[in-house]
Amino acid sequence: MNNTINASIITIGDELLIGQTVDTNSAFIGQELNKIGIWVRRRVAVGDVWNDIWKALDEESRESKLIIITGGLGPTADDITKPLLAEYFGGKLVVDEKVLAHVKYLFEKVYRRPGPILERNLKQAEVPNVAAVLHNAWGSAPGMLFKKKDTVFISLPGVPHEMKGLMTNEVIPYLLKNMGVQAIVHRTAFTFGQGESMIAEKLIDFEARLPLHIKLAYLPGYGMVKLRLTSRGEHKEAVEQELLPYFEELKGLVKEFLVADEDEPLEVVVGKLLLARKQTMATAESCTGGYIAHLITGIPGSSDYYKGSIVSYANQVKQDLLGVQQRTLTQHGAVSEETVKEMVQGALQQLKADYAVATSGIMGPGGGTEQKPVGTVWIAVGNKDKVATLKLNLRFDRQRNITTAALNALNFLRKFILTNS
């Protein structure tokens, strides 16, 4: 960890402390800093309380050379943060003409709000006169950069897309230029369908043999474990070269469960397979209720390989639109291998796709029976020649059951495409 820049993230706002808002900003900031070799040591969330914010600035600057602050800049905030920053860095609030012009432009031309601009919005153009302004093209609260001794403090608005725009377009370029950072290289092996403990057992020897400067991290998610090797050094290419054979060995050790050698979502992996084959897919979702469709259509360009979904929540829809036989539903039930097979056939025909995937299950909390307890899920995948099925027995809450079923369906489709195309 020599030559590493330590950073802290301070988030300001009562809404984070009372859990009304999930702190996705810190995750994004952590990822972006990590990519350029800056290590986030601590993350602190405080409320809109003068003393707590002041103390956090003091404490974090003792051990971190970079402090990223988000939140506390909104038009209805108690307006503590900006006056506090002015005082903390020994300046005072003055109107920044460029920011004022931008605020006016936004309200008049972009938001097109009727009536005059509110005083509280105009106040967003006030900036401590000891700050360098970071232009916020995505909103009215400017980013601000301060220095004290040899620590850099950067204050960003808490609205996620504004914060992201500023991080990507202003903060990261500044840090790359001004804070000499080491090259850091990550390689991620994405596995699906095997638990963290079992994978760790397979990797005991491999981990023991890794040089001290190469770290292996386990990043578990629903149904998946990402294995990330990280190394660092002066020259990016040399670091990459050195890391490569370790990464190849790692992939070999988990090849049975390997989905991708990049850190990318399963729906992207499936999309790439289809694009490469110029093929298409469709879905017929009962228990996943449109979540597979949502994952796939979240990816830009997915209309090139995704036809659509029949979300057949009601049995009548399974019959009317997917052609599931009344007899099948009566004899085997909606949650059965037979039903998902017919759903796949129906989806292939109705949505005219090369592949289809279907799901039916009991997600809870109610609806379970002795023979089909909550968490029973049937998945089918098929093309015009073949249909394959998979049964899951999940044991989570409703939301996690839905997510896990959808990811398993995508992974099952991925394997089917690889062996049947």
- Scan residues 297-326 and list those touching a second copy (CB under 8 A): 297-298, 300-303, 306-314, 316-317, 320-321
Q: What's the CA gap between 357 and 301, in Å, rounded?
A: 20
Binding mask 357-396 for a second copy (x = CB under 8 A): -------xxx----------------------------xx
110 near a second copy, rule: CB under 8 A: yes
Q: Which H or E run includes 177? A: helix 172-178
Count the alpha carbons within 13 Å of 218 in the hemisphere toward its beta carbon.
17
Member of 82, 102, 226, 232 binding a second copy (CB under 8 A): 226
The nearer residue to a second copy, 192 or 306, going by C-beta atoms, is: 306
Q: What is the dihedral of CA 310, 313, 315, 320, to 10 degrees?
A: -30
Q: Which of 131, 351 has the CB closer to a second copy?
A: 351
Q: Which is nearer to a second copy, 31 or 331 (CB)?
A: 31
Residue 189's φ and ψ, nearest 5 degrees, are: -100, 125
Residues of 41-66 as b/e, b for ≥16 C-beta within 10 angstroms? eebbbbbbeeebbbebbeebbeebbb
Contact letters for a second copy, residues 151-190 (x by CB under 8 A): ---------xx--x--------------------------
3-class state of residue 45 by DSSP: strand
Cβ distance to a second copy smaller for residue 24 or 420: 24
Among 196, 240, 249, 337, binds a second copy (CB under 8 A): 196
Decide whether 31 or 241 has the Cβ nearer to a second copy: 31
Closest CA to 312 of 345, 280, 272: 345
Report how far residue 340's alpha carbon sits from residue 360's, in angstroms, rounded to the nearest whole number.
Answer: 6
Select from 13-21, 149-157, 238-246, 270-278 the region that touches a second copy (CB under 8 A): 13-21
Cα 265 to Cα 272: distance, rounded to the nearest angstrom: 11
Q: Which residues inside 14-43 make contact with a second copy, applying CB under 8 A?
A: 14-24, 26-32, 34, 39-43
Tell me which amino acid residue 14 is.
Answer: D
Q: 313 and 289 in contact (C-beta within 8 Å)?
A: yes
45 near a second copy, rule: CB under 8 A: yes
Q: Which two tokens stand for residue 420?
A: 């049947």
Among 64, 70, 121, 231, binds a second copy (CB under 8 A): 121
Query: Site residues for a second copy, window 334-353 (CB under 8 A)?
Result: 350-352
Residue with smaller CB distance to a second copy, 245 or 301: 301
| Residue with smaller CB distance to a second copy, 39 or 206 | 39
* Beta-bridge partners for 225: 191, 220
* Residue 266: both structure tokens together: 């399963």
- Show contacts with a second copy in window 231-270 (CB under 8 A): none
Report the residue from 83, 91, 193, 290 that binds a second copy according to the rule CB under 8 A. 290
Residue 87 tokens, joined: 């005082």
